[in-house]
């Protein structure tokens, strides 16, 4: 038994190692996105914190308005991690942020275009999340449907065109996808210490705020899903307090702009995010786009198209396509980079998701083990929350904005494939048990 366990672990680690090597060797082939410059520019906060922490605190009249605006708008995990990678490798911070109102040449002259070495360092820093992404995908799949579901989830993660593009750049999506897989594993498997799920949930939230609904799923899980023997309400509240304290503590630690004047800084952050979304939406709807989520139905169609059918989107707008198109064409020339991104491929993926949802609902309503039923129920609830949240809040249909849903699509598809395998096995067993029928058919 021990030998089998060791062999399975060896296979798992070998797969993750080979898959990660494939993933990382192609990291520089990904077309450049100007938002990578912004993340690398803001990674200068890493050195700034070590030199003068108070420089990162919110100020009513900031000395560096551009940096404070980004601290109010964007979660900090990506820039902190890139800053740490630069510090380890001795790379300097970028002197300027990318200005979308300027030409490519002007941005390059201003120092807003990272040199290849700096870009490689930043991308590799984010790429190091990928082995963990595969591991957490396996663990989350295993907690939902067993070893086979876990293995399928890893294969689908490696072959997902959106993950191969968006998580290989020096942007937030790599940490986000890892954090979501980690959170879903914790929520469905850490039953006895569910309050510790605040750790992966805080990482996902501080990678990108679109992961916020998962935090609500964690709160509901602690209050409502405590095991076969319900815990006293007092004990549940204690666990909830621990969960909130841990989540809040990590979030506060990663956001020094909140330290000096937390309420004013938080209010300023909400205002900045609201104004940004309004301006972004106005710009988006001023252009002729077929994916305009102005109604609930249009939001649903845009989400479905971007998750399953549209080609991998290296750019959201066409400002710099003359400079990047050749790299986009080279990237998409690799069939793996656009795998299943077609009407037929997208339809297949969507069908597997629907089949997986049916399998989850059947599992919730059937007489499976109590712990398994709770896992499936909580997963379904988390998917529902995230789905509704993205429908209600996504004001522009940029493909990378939907990356928070991709781990859920992968896990649901894995459950769908697993159910197909189970049906096929049942048919084989039925035929093996009825040799007369087989003879008659022959």
Q: With a threshold of 0.75, does the pTM exceed it?
A: yes
- Predicted local distance difference test score (pLDDT) of residue 191: 81
Better-predicted residue by pLDDT, 280 or 76: 76
DSSP code of 257? G
Q: For residue 238, which phi and psi values (nearest 5 degrees)?
A: -65, -45
Give the closest residue to 77 by CA, choosing from 33, 123, 126. 126
Give the closest residue to 207 by CA, choosing from 352, 108, 80, 98. 80
* Helix (H/G/I), strand (E/B), else coil: 179: helix
Average pLDDT, rounded, for the chain: 91
Give the rounded distance of the alpha carbon of 28 from its chain centre.
20
Provide mean pLDDT across the span 148-153. 97
Distance CA 425, CA 430 (A): 9
Question: Are the C-beta atoms of 23 and 124 separated by less than 8 Å?
Answer: no
- The angle subtended at Cα 162 by Cα 102 and Cα 181, nearest 5°, is 115
Give the rounded distance of the alpha carbon of 212 from its chain centre.
12
Inter-helix orientation angle 370-393/343-365, to 10°: 130
Q: Which of 223-232, 256-265, 393-402 has the highest mean pLDDT?
A: 256-265
* Helix (H/G/I), strand (E/B), else coil: 104: helix
For the chain, the first-to-last Cα distance in angstroms comes to 41
Q: Helices (DSSP H) in 255-307: which residue ranges?
A: 262-285, 296-304
Distance CA 315, CA 312 (A): 9
- Predicted local distance difference test score (pLDDT) of residue 2: 73
Q: Which of 14-18, 35-39, 339-343, 391-395 is predicted least confidently?
A: 391-395
Distance CA 123, CA 179 (A): 17
Task: Please check the confidence at residue 177 and state whether its pLDDT lies above 90.
Answer: yes
Better-predicted residue by pLDDT, 296 or 44: 44
Distance CA 133, CA 154 (A): 9
Inter-helix orientation angle 129-145/2-25, to 10°: 140
Q: For residue 74, which phi and psi values (nearest 5 degrees)?
A: -115, 145
Residue listed under structure tokens 């649901």:
412
Task: Please check the confidence at residue 437 and state whether its pLDDT lies above 60.
Answer: no
At 365, the pLDDT band (50, 70, 90 cuts) reads: confident
Give the closest residue to 159 by CA, choosing from 338, 329, 32. 338
Better-predicted residue by pLDDT, 304 or 434: 304
């Amino acid at each position: 038994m021990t030998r089998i366990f060791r062999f399975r672990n060896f296979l798992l680690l070998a797969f993750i190692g080979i898959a990660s090597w494939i993933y990382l060797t192609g990291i520089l082939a990904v077309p450049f996105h100007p938002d990578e410059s912004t993340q690398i520019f803001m990674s200068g906060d890493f050195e700034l914190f070590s030199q003068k922490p108070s420089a990162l605190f919110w100020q009513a009249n900031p000395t560096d308005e551009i940096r404070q605006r980004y601290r109010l708008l964007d979660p900090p995990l990506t820039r902190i991690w890139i800053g740490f990678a630069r510090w380890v490798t001795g790379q300097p911070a970028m002197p300027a942020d990318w200005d979308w109102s300027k030409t490519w040449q002007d941005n390059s002259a201003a120092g807003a275009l990272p040199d290849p070495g700096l870009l490689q360092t930043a991308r590799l820093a984010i790429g190091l999340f990928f082995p963990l992404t595969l591991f957490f995908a396996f663990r989350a799949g295993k907690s939902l449907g067993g070893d086979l579901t876990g293995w399928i989830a890893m294969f689908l993660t490696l072959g997902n065109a959106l993950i191969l593009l968006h998580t290989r750049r020096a942007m937030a999506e790599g940490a986000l996808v890892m954090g979501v897989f980690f959170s879903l594993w914790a929520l469905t498997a850490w039953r006895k210490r569910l309050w510790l799920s605040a750790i992966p949930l805080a990482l996902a939230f501080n990678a990108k705020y679109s992961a916020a609904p998962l935090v609500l799923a964690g709160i509901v899980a602690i209050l409502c899903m405590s095991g076969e023997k319900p815990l006293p309400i007092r004990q549940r509240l204690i666990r909830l307090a621990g969960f909130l304290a841990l989540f809040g503590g990590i979030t506060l630690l990663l956001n020094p702009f909140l330290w000096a004047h937390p309420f004013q800084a938080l209010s300023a952050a909400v205002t900045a995010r609201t104004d940004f979304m309004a301006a972004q939406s106005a710009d988006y709807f001023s252009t002729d786009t077929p994916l305009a989520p102005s109604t609930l139905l249009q939001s649903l169609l845009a989400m479905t198209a971007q998750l399953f059918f549209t080609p991998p989107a290296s750019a959201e707008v066409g400002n710099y396509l003359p400079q990047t198109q050749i790299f986009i064409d080279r990237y998409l020339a690799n069939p793996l980079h656009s795998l299943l991104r077609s009407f037929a491929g997208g339809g297949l993926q969507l069908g597997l998701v629907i089949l997986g949802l049916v399998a989850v609902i059947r599992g919730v309503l059937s007489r499976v083990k109590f712990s398994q039923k709770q896992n499936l129920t909580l997963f379904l609830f988390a998917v529902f929350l995230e789905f509704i949240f993205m429908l209600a809040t996504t004001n522009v249909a940029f493909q990378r904005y939907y990356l928070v849903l991709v781990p859920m699509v992968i896990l649901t598809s894995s459950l769908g494939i697993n159910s197909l395998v189970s049906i096929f096995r049942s048919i084989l067993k039925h035929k093996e048990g009825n040799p007369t029928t087989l003879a008659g058919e022959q």
